[in-house]
Amino acid sequence: MKPEKIMVRLALVLLVGATALAGAASAQAATQSEFEAAYRAATEAEQKASALRNQWTPTEAALEAAAKAAAAKDYGTAMDLARRAEALAEASVEQAKEQDKLWQNAVLK
């Protein structure tokens, strides 16, 4: 398998994994500190996407919604959203890294 393909598969596996984790965590109603850790991780991933100049709007929306839910002390929802934001941010970072080479294949020749 080409390295790009492996990376795509890996990203997908991570995405599915993160979503499953998010579901499990929210079932036991997350605490504030758990939320804060998840939110920090999501923000850090989104900063990586920003440095690569490749942020996605749904990531930003999920981060914003997470902060809102946390402000309303709904840490379960906030945790889900933060995890979702992190998975999205990771996927956008992956996209930027892949496209850094793959774009060449699309050039009209």
Please tell me the count of residues contacting other proteins according to CB under 8 A. Answer: 20
Q: State the minimum distance, in angstroms, from the CB of residue 40 to other proteins.
A: 20
Looking at 10-18, 19-27, 72-80, 100-108, which segment touches other proteins (CB under 8 A)? 100-108
Distance in angstroms (rounded) separating the CA atoms of residues 88 and 67: 16
Q: DSSP letter at 106?
A: G
The residue assigned the tokens 């939110």 is 39
Q: Are 59 and 49 in contact (CB under 8 A)?
A: yes
Residues of this chain that interact with other proteins (CB under 8 A) are 53-58, 60, 88, 91-92, 95, 99-100, 102-104, 106-109
